Structure 1
Amino acid sequence: MRLIKDSSPRILVIWAMLLIAGLVALSLGRWSLAFVSFATLALSLLPPLLAARWSLVLPLPYLVFTTFFFFASIFLGEAFDFYERLWWWDLALHGSAAVGFGLTGFLFVFMLFEGDRFAAPPSAIAFITFCVAMMVGAMWEVFEFTMDTTFGLNMQKSGLDDTMADLVLNAIGGLIASLTGYVYLVRNTAGLLGMGLSEFIHMNQRLYQKYKHRLKK
């Protein structure tokens, strides 16, 4: 109930659409569409469920981003063939996802140090952030390969060329995220993306005790 209560109306609409689409597809015997619908719904629910399990508070923009990303990449991309209709669809999704997962990696690494900016050089934390973004990007490529070979989808499109282009975009997005994290550690601000980092840290201060104490001084 808390998960539903704290969610944006737009997110609830997407979840409802996915549920209805999956049920209708099942009734019509369209198994692939039903699978895509329920898979998208499950992945969209995963971040808030994990956050609740680990007692984390997710900023609404983060929840909106993850929900729209899974909806746009799996449901619109596969069920409605947006990857073929819009040439930039795959590029935009992979680039934005790399930035988002990179920032998530920064928050996780920073949390391991309890928000202590001096426990490791900012450059080292930024490097780990880049590595996390690349790791998640590589895992997504494995996921696409698995979906294509197991369920007959076409997420990889042109195969090797598509995979390598996606990894290059992951590297660019990861670099943006790591630079954002570096600047944030050095200057306590980093533009719009830095505001997102500050919001998450502020909402989960118990995980960043040393950084919170520094801000109070």
Structure 2
Amino acid sequence: MALWTGRWFTGFFTALIIIVTFLPVLLERRFRIHIPPELQLLAIGFVFASLFLGEVRDYYTRFWWWDIALHTSSGVLLGILGFLLVHIMNETERIEVHMKPGFVAFFAFLFALGVGALWEIFEFTMDTLFGMNMQKPMLGDPSGLTDTMWDLIVDALGALAISLLGWHYLRNPQQASFLERWIGTFVERNPRFFRK
């Protein structure tokens, strides 16, 4: 309907939401990786909240805390992704790497923070080259620097929380929090990555 009525921005983001929503299913089929339903729902909820509610429904300007909440949750999601990536490398027999739990957690933290920094570079590039308003400058700071720094800070806090939970999981696999249960489900459903 958005494309039919000429609302190109809304149509583009709606199409992007639909495509991203199907990514977990496509990854599962293409690479035979089972992604726990809880993680799929979190990712889909994040995409919906950031693209549809944030950009299309303008929640970024309607609610001052919307960008902060989404960057915190992106730090959490990217921390989980980084943790699972290095955990797979650490456990698979095809790669001769044996990292300590502290390094696995540190990598997950840096992975999430690195992707968050790349996103901020993307926002800056889009604003500079195409005149978009992705950095959402705050009052008293038209440059967007304050927004960028707060985005990176809350990315780091979300990533730190997941890194600490992942480190705790590797040190005490018998005690399960929600993250440990998700990681355990991922390991159980994808045994080919974790054969020693």
Instruction: State the shift of 1:48 in Å.
Output: 2.6
Does the C-alpha gap of structure 1 residues 146 and 32 become closer, same or farther in structure 2, counting only changes over 3 Å?
A: farther
Matches within 5 A, 1:1-217: 24-114=1-91, 119-149=98-128, 152-158=131-137, 159-188=144-173, 189-210=175-196
Query: Which blocks of at least 5 consecutive residues in structure 2 are unaligned?
Result: 138-143
Superposed CA deviations along residues 126-159 of structure 1, whole A, max 9, x for unmatched, are: 1111111111212222333344456554221012
Equivalent position SS for 1:71: helix
Q: Which is bigger in relative contact order (C-alpha 8 A, separation at least 6)? A: 2
Distance 1:61 1:200 in 2: 11
Distance 1:41 1:141 in 2: 23
Structure 2 length-normalised TM: 0.87
Instruction: State the shift of 1:190 in Å.
Output: 4.5
Check whether the contact 1:94–1:166 (CA below 8 A) recurs between aligned residues: yes
Query: Would you identify which runs of 4 or more consecutive aligned residues in structure 1 move more than 6 Å?
Result: none
Distance 1:62 1:39 in 2: 19
Query: Which blocks of at least 5 consecutive residues in structure 1 are unaligned?
Result: 1-23, 211-217
Does the C-alpha gap of structure 1 residues 145 and 70 become closer, same or farther in structure 2, counting only changes over 3 Å?
A: farther
Which residue of structure 1 lines up, in the alignment, with residue 141 of structure 2?
Answer: none
For the aligned residue pairs, the C-alpha RMSD in angstroms reads 1.9
Higher share of residues assigned helix: 1
